[in-house]
Amino acid sequence: MAVRVGVLGATGAVGQRLIQLLDPHPDFAVAALTASDASAGKTYREAAKWRVDTPIPEDVAGMTVGATEPDSVPDDVDLLFSSLPSSVGAAVEPDFCEAGYVVSSNSSNARMAADVPLVIPEVNADHLDLLEVQRDERGWDGALVKNPNCSTITFVPTLAALAEFGLERVHVATLQAVSGAGYDGVTSMEIIDNAVPHIGSEEEKLETESRKLLGGFDGAELDRHDVEVAASCNRIPTIDGHLENVFVETDEDLSPAAAAEAMREYPSLDLPSSPDPLIHVFDEPDRPQPRLDRTLGDGMAIAAGGLRESTFGLQYNCLAHNTIRGAAGASVLNGELLLENGYL
């Protein structure tokens, strides 16, 4: 029988993607929706200005949106996907965990907390067991797991594939799509015919989250990988798909051919949303491109290309769909990992 799930922040850009991905999901059935007080009490069809590229699922469209508080969610819902603004997530996610719900969250609050697992299942599934420590320390029946920022998720799987060569230093420059800021995040006057070389707090997220994801877990605490990461983040006028230029210095010699082989062979997982292959490596020097390649693996694959030697070691480009692999799909995949590991 399907696990009953809810979506916190169900009317937003990521919330709508969650509804799109959950509607046909083999293991999860949507049973609760929440949003702001302005949406509470309306049907989902009325509250969500549906802008995803498939029709609104009819069974969800007729559901009533609740306020974002534990009392709005039926007790038999086991798992909540959270796509709330981070300030709201910080205020309410702990209440849901305390009330016994397991929360798989996109929001940036608490991603770097010492007892909160930050997980990309194909990279660091073992960090999920930090939930035992979290439950002990916080006295929760529920639990809180996070997925990383959409730009972090794009390049970290490629670094994980190269880790065997000894990661020393990484520089990453991003070209990020406008959907990463939510529907109301970037105005057309700001972004058409333009590029904006600043995205608030984004660079710090790439630099810190990547080291947490690549770090080890000894069963009690996490340590951060000692790779040095420098990021520069840019907003460009694409709709979906973050493209990144990456330079990696490694301990051991790393040729472009060896890097391509390591990426191609990096394993995916036997979970419904994990694509196979996880990393699609292009030989063509002008790929990946957002419009052409963001839907690889149903939007869950990482695309890489342009591998070559440079003054700063290996250079390549990578790409992921920011609202699927970078947000909604990442939370769903973490939900699948929670289910497989007996946390639901």
Tell which one of 3, 4, 15, 343 touches ligand NAP (CB under 6 A).
Answer: 15
Asked if 11 touches ligand NAP (CB under 6 A), the answer is yes
Nearer to ligand NAP, 54 or 87 (CB): 87
- Applying CB under 6 A, the span of 83-91, 207-215, 273-281, 287-295 interacting with ligand NAP comes to 83-91
Residues in the interface with ligand NAP (CB under 6 A) total: 29
In terms of Cα–Cα distance, which of 325, 287, 290, 323 is closest to 304?
287
- Applying CB under 6 A, the span of 101-109, 186-194, 228-236, 260-268 interacting with ligand NAP comes to 101-109
Task: Give the pairing type, strands 167-176 and 242-250.
Answer: antiparallel
Please name the residue that has the structure tokens 């990453």: 172
CB of 13 to ligand NAP, least distance (A): 4
Tell which one of 46, 126, 166, 183 touches ligand NAP (CB under 6 A).
Answer: 183
Tell which one of 2, 24, 38, 137 touches ligand NAP (CB under 6 A).
Answer: 38
Tell which one of 3, 5, 13, 172 touches ligand NAP (CB under 6 A).
Answer: 13
CB of 313 to ligand NAP, least distance (A): 29
Site for ligand NAP in 130-169 (CB under 6 A): 150
CB of 19 to ligand NAP, least distance (A): 11
- Applying CB under 6 A, the span of 7-15, 20-28, 121-129, 303-311 interacting with ligand NAP comes to 7-15
Asked if 84 touches ligand NAP (CB under 6 A), the answer is yes
Tell which one of 36, 234, 245, 289 touches ligand NAP (CB under 6 A).
Answer: 36
Site for ligand NAP in 193-212 (CB under 6 A): none
Q: Which residues contact 152 (CB under 8 A, 6 or more apart)?
A: 205, 206, 209, 210, 213
CB of 225 to ligand NAP, least distance (A): 22
Asked if 70 touches ligand NAP (CB under 6 A), the answer is no
Which of the residues 127, 233, 242, 318 is marked catalytic?
242
User: CA-CA distance, 270 to 334, in Å (whole number)?
Assistant: 13
Bond from prior residue into 288 cis (ω within 30 degrees of 0) = yes
> Could you tell me if 9 and 72 are in contact, meaning their C-beta atoms sit under 8 angstroms apart?
no
Q: Which residue is nearest to ligand NAP (CB)?
A: 12
> Could you tell me if 336 and 272 are in contact, meaning their C-beta atoms sit under 8 angstroms apart?
yes
Asked if 326 touches ligand NAP (CB under 6 A), the answer is yes
Nearer to ligand NAP, 183 or 312 (CB): 183
- Applying CB under 6 A, the span of 10-18, 19-27, 124-132, 275-283 interacting with ligand NAP comes to 10-18
Asked if 290 touches ligand NAP (CB under 6 A), the answer is no
Q: Is 100 exposed, middle or buried (0-12, 13-18, 19+ CB in 10 A)?
A: middle
Asked if 331 touches ligand NAP (CB under 6 A), the answer is no
Q: What type of residue sits at position 200?
A: G
Binding site for ligand NAP (CB under 6 A): 9-15, 35-36, 38-39, 68, 83-86, 88, 106-108, 150, 179-180, 182-183, 322-323, 326-327
The residues assigned a catalytic role are 150, 242
